[in-house]
A and B are shown apart, each in its own frame.
Chain A
Amino acid sequence: MIHFEDVSVTYDGAAEPTVSHVDFEVPEGELVLLAGPSGVGKSTVLGAVGGLVPHFTGGTLSGRVTVAGRDTRTHKPRELADVVGTVGQDPLSHFVTDTVEDELAYGMESLGLAPDVMRRRVEETLDLLGLAALRSRPIATLSGGQQQRVAIGSVLTPHPDVLVLDEPTSALDPAAAEEVLAVLQRLVHDLGTTVLMAEHRLERVIQYADQVVLLPAPGAAPVLGAPADVMAVSPVYPPVVGLGRLADWSPLPLTIRDARRRAAPLRERLSTREIPDHTPPSAAQLPAPPALRPAPARWWRRNSQTTSPTTPTPTPYAAEVRSLAVRRGGVQALRHVGLTVSPGETVALMGRNGAGKSTLLSALVGLVEPSAGSVRAGDAVPHRTAPRDLVRRVGLVPQEPRDLLYADTVAAECVAADRDADAPSGTCRALLTELLPGVTDDTHPRDLSEGQRLTLALSVVLTAHPPLLLLDEPTRGLDYAAKSRLTGILRGLAAEGHAIVLATHDVELAAELAHRVVLLAEGEVIADGPAADVVVTSPSYAPQVAKILSPLKWLTVTQVREALT
């Protein structure tokens, strides 16, 4: 169905080809997964299928890509629209209209299908993707998982032979990801659609793949094969494969079910060992942040207590939230939330998209004002503290790290960060060099990879040395290598005494890092306890290792490796 014949792509101004000598074939009706570390050109390969590379992006494509017999050299993306449906990384930038039903019809309208055909297909697609109840909803009001399903539906209605998806589940919570994957499974099995997708979170998708195309390194030729064979040699692999490699299972299991069948002896061996301890170490106390200056007077604010943002009693907690309620745009985003974080402790906030995780983090940095209850970050009340003082108490790395970066070189960014934080000059640059060796001063932040950009933003935030560090969805778009580097950095920070709160969908990251997991649902805390206790019992939030080794409370491959050696 899709043929790549010795394809190399060189973008304008690039010295070397982004991908070279890509040569593979995707047979009809298969789900093929494109895997590899970040920066190996997965998105380029996906774009080449729909003709967006090079017709839209520019650059030179040598070799030949054919889809359903059409050569992308002679067919523009719009002329391939009836055979290829492409959904990019961000579904929001994919939508042309504003309601679900119109969005589903848009592609068919462009192709000029007859009105009765369009009507029938819209109804069919609404049912297929479980969107019937949302048909007249404005797209902006949908949740992330629903938007992703609408985006897939919108390219399905013209009945394409090939579906191309770039990171379809990365931004989704585990339940919503399963929802999307179930739909893809159904398309492949019932309708014979050919699916080619790239995804960093292999643990979510590997069991659905018929074949894996692995791009092992930038410029390296792809490896194509059955998932188990490719995973045996791949530099990126999910925890289930990691455990399989560790235990020398052959062939490698890809699903929890297969692994559990093999795992009986391993479980027996491990049942006598002690799980490596994950409780917070007695943290070294960080130097106390300088005293608060009074917040700038805002005469139009009626609250008169602005003048005394500090309370005399010092608190043992780095963050303390008491019966917090927040209303945002007429929606009760949080209700009666209580949370305390001690220095040196790492807490993972988990829950569905829209459960209130980001709102809670925003409240801790004073971006939103509580409508009831109290928030304290160290000795400060965040929303009543001047930003200059607050950065030395609490730092947040937002979901999009780029939001924090304004300057056009890394060096300028670091200088600005030192100035913002009143830190001795060179502090930020030293931090960055420590966390991310090999980034030159004159690099533009936009040219960094996702992981590098995250680290830069983290260095900027850490320049002020805040005892409380918050990260919102830090692993979005990171490959396993970048993720393990981040894990190392955050562990080090926690050992130094920083309290860390991370909001994440990534159960594997939470299992690696968190001492405590807090589950949120509809703005309320529904579980709060040691990571092992909370996640092991939850079907959606249990990491793969926990699922394989339950009822034992092992969470990560690293733990198992440590125990066995």
Chain B
Amino acid sequence: MSVRINNLTISYDHRPAVHHLDMLINQGDWLAIVGPNGAGKSTLLNALAGVVTEYEGDIEGLYPESIAYLPQQSQLDKSFPITVYDLVSTGLWNELGFSRGLNANQHNKCEEALEAVGLHGFENRLIGSLSSGQLQRSLFARVLIQDQHIILLDEPFNAIDTKTLIDLTSIIKKWHENNRTVIMVTHDLDYVREHCPKSLLLARECIDFGVTKSVLTEKNLRHARALSEAFDTHAVWCAG
């Protein structure tokens, strides 16, 4: 199932953070959203995830219950007393809801997910006692459990060591091989060049979108940097 974005504008206080964006994301794409700070990357991802719901234009082919979303760690309350196992199993919310318990099958799924991210034996650790790499691994385990066709990752490799990065990348590669759609926001251009087949270069508006090699050119990147991050205080209402 592909995702089509038509003339999408997301504004804060009438100032566009994402401006007139059109794009088609095919089922099975591994897409990186890159761009300078303040380019609207996370805003776009939040709109795709259904966290931001007020925007102009439309997004077709996305349903909140068919998306697994990996938030930035700063959005979590790490001091809350919850174990790694419980955090991971919250990925089953759509199946379990308010009250159902985990069946044997679902227990196995959790165990397998923890095994896959290399956190076997961490089940009963509180998330507050984890390193940021370990916490990121457990969030990936939760995405694994959610088992969705579309996976959104918000800066998944911030403050992560090389070993963790390699392990988690191999998980993303498996998703890609299984024809799941992976959309990630990142600042790491080298990573994008090496791994992500497609990119969107964003600087509030779309600078370029397509095959990574043709998007991340020096010219495009300069263009993106040149577009001012500051608001134009004399901006008039946009006619588009």
Whether A associates with B in a native complex is no
Q: Which residues of B does A touch, CB under 8 Å?
A: none
Q: Which residues of A does B touch, CB under 8 Å?
A: none
